[in-house]
Structure 1
Amino acid sequence: MPHDLSSALSGLREGRLQAAELLRMSQAAARSEACKHAFVRLFEPRPIEAPHSPLGGLAISIKDLFDVAGQPSTGGSRALSDAPPASVDSPAVARLRTAGAALIGHTNLSEFAFSGLGLNPHHGTPLNPVTQALDGLARIPGGSSSGAAVSVASGAAWAALGTDTGGSIRIPAALTGLVGFKNTARLTPAAGCIPLAPSLDTSCAITHSVRDAVLLHEILAARQVRLQTRPWSGLRLGVPRAMLEGLDTQVAQDFERSLAQLSAAGAQIEHIDPAPLRDFSALQIQGGLAACESWAWHRARLAERESDYDARVALRIKRGAGFTAADYLDLLSARRDWIAAMEQALQGFDALLSPTVARVAPELAPLRADDELFFATNLLMLRNTSVVNLLDGCALTLPCHAPGSLPTGLMLWATALRDDALLSLALQTEALLQSEREA
């Protein structure tokens, strides 16, 4: 089997592979044990023989937030069990369909995308198929886009459309050894998608490789990425020390090894302490924008159907009830000031580097049983990734673990609208880490 979407597309164009056969294999994987609980609903896509279309008739999964014509969008929740089928595709889905995607199904998620862990009490929680093959333990795939990551890791989809509000694409990508690219939010359409926090939500994708991430971004953003290779010696990369706290042993070792490889290639790496980063937690009081904006969307339905919500999600949403209009406007103003201060502090760096998440995938059972552990783990998993959403920036995670070990992610990130430079750097970094891994 081809190792990524781009390889499969090459096979289609050269006549070595057939889209119909690849779709049948994806459908079989979607119904396999490895994909248990990964989908809320499967679609019945018809084979598309369009080898020269951007996506070639290959399977792409859709997070159960995006409208797909003829299907309900339920956010992984019983609270939307009465949702009618969508009359039209959301813009992001429409762009994928026009590009030749075979839409294979709506993927499972943390209810309404409100958690970085991926647990779902309504539809079950998909297990991490990558870690299970390594140690046999029932570990989480991360969230909120849990089913999205599992669909790609298991072979049910070549790429997965999801959302990233605080790390919901990058966390599961990191924990399953995949690539997750969170673009600058304004570049991709969010209409026709159940929101969590519109000020932070980003429509984006999980893929097998950085080149696939470039392809999916070009389709979703309806723009061409301008790639440029630069000599390593001309790159200045910052490592915020605050994002290195509380790392487990493997994450720390994998990250330090990646820094050493980049440094050996000639990159200038500096450990930094951006002063505005110390103020990040102050912008999260009472749950921050996620709580405030989700409360605005959910308050009427919560009043009627709270018993149909995941109790942990309802608790987090209801934190937003304490915000006044003045509080909200103050928070938006404080965020604008914080972004300006961060942009000033990060001037001169081509990108920032950090571990995507602070630990490898945790086991599912303790998180399911213990509320205190659940919320503490969720906070830790979101810590590094959520900085980029508040910054309105762009970020990409790619695998940095050694072969045969549990997946860990290296996150490259930058301020708003530096997506093309970041993707260019990610392609170089991926190639460098892979060459070192294979040496």
Structure 2
Amino acid sequence: MAELNKLGLAEARDALRKGDVTSVELTEACLTEIEGAGALNAFVHNTPEIARDQAKAADARIKAGDAPDMCGLPIGIKDLFCTKGVPSQAGSRILEGFLPEYESTVSGNLLEAGAVMLGKLNMDEFAMGSSNETSVYGNAVNPWRRGNDEAALTPGGSSGGSASAVAADLCLAATGTDTGGSIRQPAAFTGITGIKPTYGRCSRWGIVAFASSLDQAGPMTKSVRDAAIMLEAMCGHDPKDSTSADLPVPNFEAMLTGDIKGKKIGIPAEYRMDGMPDEIETLWAQGREMLADAGAEIVDISLPHTKYALPAYYVIAPAEASSNLARYDGVRYGHRATLSQGDGITEMYEKTRAEGFGDEVKRRVMIGTYVLSAGFYDAYYNRARKVRTLIKKDFEDVFAQGIDAILTPATPSAAFGLGEASDDPVQMYLNDVFTVTVNMAGLPGIAVPAGTDAQGLPLGLQLIGRPWEEGDLLNTAYALEARAGFVAKPGKWW
């Protein structure tokens, strides 16, 4: 079989079961591709020997007839997931040299299912960013280009390395995490599929924390079917995570019928933003037509507190980050500053954190510390929590009216150039305008590639589902994917 790295999870799984290909061959094809893709800066810690050993073990398992769906499939792991004995830096200098003695539950679930880890993927530092420009490893680069323009584009963030690697066929799929859109926005920017499941569906244990009440892991894949296959392997109750839901994990792939006749799809009036590009508006209208064509009923709905979601998010997320990042002090692991004579413990903390954290992380830690401080706690943090409750109730009210899923744009634009928005943090934060509500309400959301802009760059649509109904959401996305017929791939320049 030619160009094995271009296969999706479902195609590769079926080929492995038929004996048309081996996991070793799949893995070698991906490793060769990774070696030649340094210009994308997607993989930052390569693990070829681990991958080869895992591939051999997977082939033996398949031969023995004891192989789950993910067995033998080569994937990339975002650098936010702790992987035993492999550098896990969360894209930050402060975790330089950190080799975990344990495996995150999600990556552990995938490895137990026989998946092959090719290496660790680039990301914004501590998952704070929408463009993968805050990474200690340097920028990840989008494999797509604007027409004949050679300007480097962002793959989105924070899971930029994951998005770039999947879009460029360096791996068959990758893990991502999503705190305010960090799976769905990069998926939309690179023409792939990304799903953030319901908060609590995937364990957070062993994933470096950004904002604990918002973070959730999910798969980034080449199709909706692949997302269903990988999500099932990632999910499951974990007693090590107190927020992990003790619910059975369905066979998501078996739920992909494509039949959405009679389903009610909500279109929220509040997502029509001032200044939204015509191309995004047009794509959204086309998405409505596609779902109606599939037999769904399109219903106009209102989510009145949407406009407060972004400001509330940028109070809650930094507040939780400032608390979570307090543990990085140079005492137990990671980077420690060189001290001058006479320096005490306070100076060691200050110098270590000043050297170890990048500008965006420092900005968010300072914002978070400020909104949690005496005199401002009620004015900012408590008020933001109340707004969050109202946002959650908006969705509950809509779902109580019989709405099955909500269709929105995934991003306010196509991928922009690296360096184009990095000088203006507020402008950068606006990238999350369509995605943060989903995290605030703890709901599942999926980005599906649905078209291209005038310059040939991919554009995505987002579907938001009912809590714990990822199977139903994936099926609606499957129907949308079939009608959108998105097959475009970036031209290889790297």
TM (normalized to structure 2)?
A: 0.81
Counterpart CA distance in 2 for 1:319 and 1:147 is: 27
Instruction: Say whether 1:163 aligns with 2:217.
Output: no
CA contact (8 A) 2:144 2:153 kept: no
Greater helix content: 1
| Residue ranges of structure 2 left out of the alignment (5+ in a row) | 237-248, 330-349, 489-494
TM-score computed with the length of structure 1 as normaliser: 0.91
Shift of 1:14: 1.1
Report 1:159-238 matches (<5 A).
Answer: 159-222=173-236, 223-225=249-251, 227=255, 229=257, 231-238=259-266
Contact 2:446-2:462 within 8 A present in 1 as well = yes
What is the CA-CA distance between 1:412 and the residue it aligns to?
0.5
For the 8 Å contact 2:188–2:448, the answer to whether it is kept is: yes
- Kept in 2, the 8 Å contact 1:59–1:157? The answer is yes
Aligned to 1:350: 404
Higher mean displacement: 291-300 or 339-348: 339-348
Cα deviations by residue, 1:93-145 (Å, 9 ceiling, x for unpaired) = 11110111111111111110011211135211121103368653311100000
What is the deviation of 1:297?
A: 1.6
The total of aligned residue pairs comes to 430
The C-alpha deviation readout for 1:220-254, integer Å capped at 9, x for no partner, is 11422352647544121111122231322332222
1:378 to 428, 440, 452: 428
Match of 2:131 among 108, 117, 120: 117
Counterpart of 1:264 in structure 2 is 293
* Correspondence for 2:40: 36
SS in 1 for 2:158: coil
Equivalent residue of 2:119, what SS?
strand
Tell me by how many angstroms 1:298 deviates. 1.7
2:113–2:233 CA contact under 8 A, matched in 1: yes
What's the C-alpha RMSD, in Å, of the aligned pairs? 2.4
Judge conservation of contact 2:70–2:233 (CA < 8 Å) in 1.
no
Conserved? CA contact 2:404–2:466, under 8 Å: no
Kindly indicate whether the alpha-carbon contact (under 8 Å) linking 2:40 and 2:142 is maintained by their aligned counterparts in 1.
no
Report if aligned partners of 1:110, 1:146 keep a CA contact under 8 Å in 2.
yes
1:340 aligns with 2:354: no
Query: What is the CA distance between 1:73 and its match in structure 2?
Result: 1.5
Does the CA-based 8 Å contact 2:123-2:135 persist in structure 1?
no
User: Within 2, Cα distance between the matches of 1:402 and 1:299?
Assistant: 42
Matched-pair contact (CA < 8 Å) for 2:256–2:478: no
Which of 143-152 and 273-282 deviates more?
273-282
Q: Judging changes above 3 Å, is the alpha-carbon distance between structure 1 residues 338 and 401 closer, same or farther for their aligned structure 2 residues?
A: closer
Query: Who wins on radius of gyration, i.e. which is larger?
Result: 2
Change (3 A) 1:103 1:35: farther
**2: CA distance between counterparts of 1:433 and 1:115?**
29
Is the Cα contact below 8 Å between 1:35 and 1:154 reproduced in 2? Answer: no
Alpha carbons of structure 1 residues 238 and 71: separation in structure 2 relative to 1, 3 Å: same
The reply on whether 1:74 has 2:99 as its aligned counterpart is no
Q: Which residue of 1 aligns with 2:303?
A: 274
Q: Distance in 1 between matches of 2:258 and 2:123?
A: 38
Query: Unaligned stretches of 5+ in structure 1?
Result: none
> What is the one-letter code of the residue matched to 1:54?
D
Q: Secondary structure at the match of 1:130?
A: coil
Separation in structure 2 between the aligned mates of residue 435 and residue 338 of structure 1, nearest angstrom = 32
2:12 maps to: 8
Q: Which residue of 2 aligns with 1:294?
A: 321
**C-alpha separation in 1, matches of 2:486 and 2:122:** 34
Deviations 1:390-436 (A, max 9, x none): 01100111110159821010100023222221112111221222299
| Structure 1 letter corresponding to 2:484 | L
Partner of 1:23: 27
Match of 2:241 in 1: none
